Amino acid sequence: MGRHDERVHRVLLLVPSASYRAPDFLEAARALGLEVIVGCDEVPVLSENGAWLQIPLQDPEAAAQAIVALDAARPLDAVVAVDDQGTLAAARAASRLGLRANPPDAVAAARDKARMRTLLEAAEVPQPGFALLSPTARAAELAALVETVGLPSVIKPTSLSGSQGVIRADTVAGALAAIERSRSIAEDAGARTDEPLLAEQFIAGAEVAVEGMLGAGDLTVLAVFDKPDPLDGPFFEETIYVTPSRLGASDLAAVKAATQAATRGLGLTEGPVHAEIRVRDGRAFVIEVAARSVGGLCSRTLRFGTGMSLEYLILAHALGQPVRAPRLRAAAGVLMLPISRGGVLVEVSGRDEVLAIPGVVGMDLTIAPGRTLVPLPEGNRYLGFVFARGDTPQEVESALRSALAKLHVRVRPQRPLKHLAAGR
């Protein structure tokens, strides 16, 4: 299983400083009896003292070189990225070290929505119609491209995630305004100035999220989450995930087939996959595919078999252990607390009432009082997460909706910065 004869296997976790997920992966590593080194772009916040290494995750090539150098001193059995930012560095390093990994080009394509769309089109994977919007194109050219895609359309950056910068437009004029706003958001988030935007056909219908695991290119579906709140725009803030899905057997088969076709079209072969799929009239359309597991704290909804977490399965797979399709222990779901308006967070009240709701099993706030709240499409974070379990998906959804009704968020306007006087 490992590359050396030590009893304890060593794993490098790549954890962006903004990630919520380090504690869950560390807990899974303890359950597997692993030695863990945390690679982080800044000093990590860990739940316990542990080994860590500063790695420039924003530069995948430099990060991969640092990981290879680390392996020379402390041989690694696996390199695992917990979020999007580390996936390409992990793939490059693991490939060079002979560890289980996706091809780096496939991971790069999954992180670039323009490249992803082009590869899926070549593989004839069902997906929205699309057009690339060059930053140098004039308004008339952009308008023509949007009309070719069709209205309503969805404008999105090619390198951001979490619905940041994603805007629906119902008219050509609205699309031109959305293009300007989306491009500004992307540049503020650090995107290259020459990066194109995407205009995509809006696909009406139910949307689901797929959690899967790839082994030698074959997909094992671990869970399919319903998104019971319509995601029709103008922005696309997700609120509730519930599993198991209530789609019919034929629709679920179409979802799995589309996800498998997409991973093969991109060339992904190993590790976790998170996909967003729209279902309409018995057809499944691929909206997104990521070479990682579900973001935020949503994975805490999933407990398999005797209590294995999703993070446990990810680490086990990275170490070469086979991952079958373990059965979920119960219906489960998560409420992602939306940020409805911007400002400075004062408090979130109602926690005790939420935890008293039958079926609610936990609540975590991820933004502290005093921090600035930025709603979509400019923002890319949630205020927190509420978790529920039950005998049926309907019970879980009801508990989460009751939780949302009992929470009250106090926000004060953000004071404008005072400009320094000229000459000072």
CA-based nearest residue to 81, from 18, 29, 38? 38
pLDDT at 64 over 80: yes
Cis geometry, peptide bond prior to residue 152 (ω within 30 degrees of 0)? yes
What's the pLDDT band for 3 if we cut at 50, 70, 90? low
CATH number of this structure's domain 10-101, picked from the four choices 1.10.3720.10, 2.60.120.10, 3.30.300.30, 3.40.50.20:
3.40.50.20
What are the extents of the domains in the chain? 10-101, 129-201, 330-414
Question: Which pLDDT value is given to residue 414?
Answer: 84
pLDDT per residue as tens digits for the range 348-374: 999 999 999 999 999 999 999 999 999
CATH class of the 129-201 domain in this structure: alpha beta
Say which range, 80-84, 102-106, 122-126, 180-184, has the weakest mean pLDDT. Answer: 80-84
pLDDT per residue as tens digits for the range 141-164: 999 999 999 999 999 999 998 899
What's the pLDDT band for 51 if we cut at 50, 70, 90? confident
Question: In whole angstroms, what is the distance from residue 324 CA to residue 331 CA?
Answer: 19
Single pTM value for the model: 0.92
Question: Which pLDDT value is given to residue 45?
Answer: 52
Question: Which pLDDT value is given to residue 155?
Answer: 98
Q: Which stretch of DSSP H or E encloses residue 16?
A: none
pLDDT at 52 over 90: no
Region 208-213: mean pLDDT is 97
What's the pLDDT band for 419 if we cut at 50, 70, 90? very low
Helix/strand number for the chain, H first, E second: 11, 21
Quote the DSSP letter at residue 56: -
Region 94-105: mean pLDDT is 97
pLDDT per residue as tens digits for the range 167-190: 999 999 999 999 999 999 999 999
pLDDT at 399 over 70: yes
pLDDT at 327 over 80: no
Question: Which pLDDT value is given to residue 185?
Answer: 97
Highest mean pLDDT among 19-33, 302-316, 384-398: 384-398
Question: Which pLDDT value is given to residue 119?
Answer: 98
Question: Which pLDDT value is given to residue 44?
Answer: 60
pLDDT at 344 over 50: yes
pLDDT at 90 over 70: yes
- For residue 266, give the amino acid letter: L
Q: What are phi and psi of 268, to 5 degrees?
A: -75, 140
pLDDT at 53 over 80: yes
Q: Which stretch of DSSP H or E encloses residue 44?
A: none
Question: Which pLDDT value is given to residue 227?
Answer: 98
How high is the mean pLDDT of the chain?
A: 92
> What is the CATH T-level fold of the domain 330-414, as seen in this structure?
Aldehyde Oxidoreductase; domain 3 (3.90.1170)
Yes or no: say if 314 and 271 are a contact pair by the CB < 8 Å rule: yes
Question: In whole angstroms, what is the distance from residue 424 CA to residue 413 CA?
Answer: 27
What's the pLDDT band for 81 if we cut at 50, 70, 90? very high
Question: Which pLDDT value is given to residue 61?
Answer: 97
Question: Which pLDDT value is given to residue 276?
Answer: 98
Three-state SS for 309? strand
Question: Which pLDDT value is given to residue 331?
Answer: 95
Question: Which pLDDT value is given to residue 416?
Answer: 63
Yes or no: say if 163 and 211 are a contact pair by the CB < 8 Å rule: no
Region 202-231: mean pLDDT is 96
What's the pLDDT band for 1 if we cut at 50, 70, 90? very low
pLDDT at 110 over 60: yes
